């Protein structure tokens, strides 16, 4: 299950680490995020719901928690993250919008597809520590994984602190997933158009500069792959048809983590320790020796 390409990979995933099955028979879980208190939110596109997986505070094991539906009936969610106040941010398709769950429990739309200049098919999002939100806008695909005929190319959008929304990607993309590097100076994008991970420098105003290819890797359309995370050492984790691929900041492949089912998305666990992965119809936990990048 753990395949090292270089000896240094053993410092990231211990050779005898065991992948822990956490949940099964969810339907088709995609987006996933774990808050500071250890509550894991999961978007299940098959059941059109967002679930919360709650682990008791004193429990250190990643499994054995309680699964419950979110208090709101949230439909169409595909990508999830949190902001610095712990509010859940949702990239959704039904309706097509980016929403935020307020403290009082209401859903507030940050973007709407009917508004000019807003994302039309949000698929993933990441919250930056300065308050900006970056959204991957991924047009629908054919069942065979190819882009829909006549569909516009995807793009990266920025939701600024003041609520303004604008496209910021300087080149055509089909962005399946977005993440920030460990210093939050670059945005990393799992791009299905080029089958690669692209790195964009972030300007002081939050706009993006020209991208550079970090590494090439097939990003599957069929399973909702393209989940991407980074750790505090600069390593990059991305879901592909082969599993979770790990590369260093220079794009050198360090190793791979094979899951029992094809993975879709990733998030860091409680305290940014270990990775939760949605895969097939379940959720798994991967022990990681390096701490994850904190963005909220």
Q: What is the CATH number of the domain that holds 236?
A: 2.120.10.30
Residue 223 has pLDDT above 60, yes or no: no
Say if residues 261 and 279 touch (Cβ distance below 8 Å): yes
Tell me if 66 is assigned to some domain. yes
How many Å apart are CA 26 and CA 101, to the nearest integer?
Answer: 23
What range defines the domain where residue 251 resides?
A: 2-286
Provide the pLDDT confidence category of residue 31 given band limits of 50, 70 and 90: very high
Domain count, the chain: 1
**H-state helical runs in the chain:** none
Question: Per-residue pLDDT averaged across 96-108, rounded?
Answer: 95
Provide the pLDDT confidence category of residue 219 given band limits of 50, 70 and 90: confident
Residue 274 has pLDDT above 80, yes or no: yes
What's the pLDDT tens digit per position in 192-204?
Answer: 999 999 999 999 9
- Reference 127, options 80, 166, 95; nearest CA is 80
Tell me if 291 is assigned to some domain. no
What pLDDT, on the 0 to 100 scale, is given for residue 171? 86
Tell me if 229 is assigned to some domain. yes
Q: Is 70 helix (H, G, I), strand (E, B) or coil?
A: coil
List strands edge to edge, sheet with 263-268.
Answer: 20-23, 282-286, 275-279, 263-268
Tell me if 292 is assigned to some domain. no
What's the pLDDT tens digit per position in 74-98?
Answer: 999 999 999 999 999 999 998 999 9
Residues β-bridged to residue 53 = 40, 67
Tell me if 293 is assigned to some domain. no
What pLDDT, on the 0 to 100 scale, is given for residue 15? 84
Question: Per-residue pLDDT averaged across 48-66, rounded?
Answer: 91
Question: Per-residue pLDDT averaged across 217-237, rounded?
Answer: 83
Lowest mean pLDDT among 142-146, 173-177, 256-260: 142-146
What pLDDT, on the 0 to 100 scale, is given for residue 143? 47
How many Å apart are CA 211 and CA 186, to the nearest integer?
Answer: 10
What pLDDT, on the 0 to 100 scale, is given for residue 144? 46
What pLDDT, on the 0 to 100 scale, is given for residue 142? 53
Tell me if 97 is assigned to some domain. yes
Tell me if 158 is assigned to some domain. yes
Residue 1 has pLDDT above 90, yes or no: no
What pLDDT, on the 0 to 100 scale, is given for residue 153? 80
What's the pLDDT tens digit per position in 147-169?
Answer: 554 456 899 999 999 999 999 99
């Amino acid at each position: 299950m753990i395949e090292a390409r270089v000896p240094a990979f053993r410092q990231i995933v211990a050779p005898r680490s065991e992948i822990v099955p956490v949940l099964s028979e969810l339907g088709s879980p995609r987006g996933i995020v774990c808050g500071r208190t250890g509550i894991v939110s999961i978007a299940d596109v098959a059941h059109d719901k967002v679930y919360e997986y709650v682990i008791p505070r004193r429990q250190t094991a990643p499994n054995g928690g309680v699964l419950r539906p979110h208090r709101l009936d949230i439909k169409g969610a595909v990508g999830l993250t949190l902001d610095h106040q712990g509010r859940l941010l949702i990239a959704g398709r039904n309706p097509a919008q980016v929403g935020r769950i307020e403290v009082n429990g209401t859903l507030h739309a940050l973007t709407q597809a009917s508004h000019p200049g807003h994302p039309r098919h949000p698929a993933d999002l990441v919250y930056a520590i300065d308050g900006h939100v970056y959204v991957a806008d991924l047009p629908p695909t054919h069942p065979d994984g190819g882009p829909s005929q006549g569909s516009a190319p995807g793009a990266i959008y920025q939701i600024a602190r003041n609520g303004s929304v604008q496209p910021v990607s300087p080149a055509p993309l089909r962005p399946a997933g977005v993440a920030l590097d460990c210093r939050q100076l670059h945005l990393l994008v799992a791009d299905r158009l080029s089958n690669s991970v692209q790195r964009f420098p972030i300007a002081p105003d939050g706009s993006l500069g020209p991208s550079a290819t970090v590494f090439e890797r097939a990003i599957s359309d069929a399973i909702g792959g393209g989940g991407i995370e980074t750790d505090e050492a600069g390593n990059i984790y991305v879901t592909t048809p082969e599993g979770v691929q790990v590369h260093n900041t220079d794009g050198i492949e360090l190793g791979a983590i094979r899951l029992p089912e094809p993975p879709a998305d990733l998030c860091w666990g409680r305290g940014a320790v270990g990775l939760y992965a949605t895969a097939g119809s379940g959720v798994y936990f991967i022990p990681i020796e390096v701490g994850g990048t904190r963005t909220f």
